[in-house]
Amino acid sequence: MKDLVPETYNLPLILAAFLSAVAALLHLCIIFGGPAWYRFFGAGERMASGAAAGHWYPPVVTLLIACVLSVWAAYALSGAGVLQPLPLLVFVLPAITAVYLVRGLVPLVLSAFDRRRRSAFLLWSSVICLGFGVVHLLGLVQVWERL
């Protein structure tokens, strides 16, 4: 039986794409979940209140985030060799990796110096982003020569 993932595909970047796609889907679910979901996932009271009041801002911002995460998933699949090379792949894939790593590390470092910034949401979201960034970085290092 033939392998499900050919050897030419990069598994860490496929996993990275999956993680970004799940995050995008979760953001779409938050839009439909309403104010309680905005609060649960740490979007802040302004976003939750805006969603409760029917303002356009929370769903539009959340939809834009979902779109960005979807594009990031496509770039990871492109880097993995699953999709044809996307424009500027050699620049965009490292940038995505850097954004995830910085988003994961900076809040953790800042919260070490300012206890007021510490929250469960900050801790978990930073750890998740750091994990996403590490997976991207592992894949990126493996495919760098062929980008």
> Element (H or E) spanning 145, and its range?
none
103-122 confidence digits (pLDDT tens): 999 988 888 888 877 778 88
Q: CB within 8 A of 23, min separation 6: which ones?
A: 69, 132
pTM: 0.90
22-35 confidence digits (pLDDT tens): 999 999 999 999 99
91-97 own/partner pairs: CB under 8 Å, 24+ apart: 93/136, 93/140, 93/147, 94/140, 96/72, 96/136, 97/133, 97/136, 97/137, 97/140
pLDDT at position 110, please?
85
Compute how many other C-beta atoms are within 10 angstroms of the C-beta atom of residue 90: 10
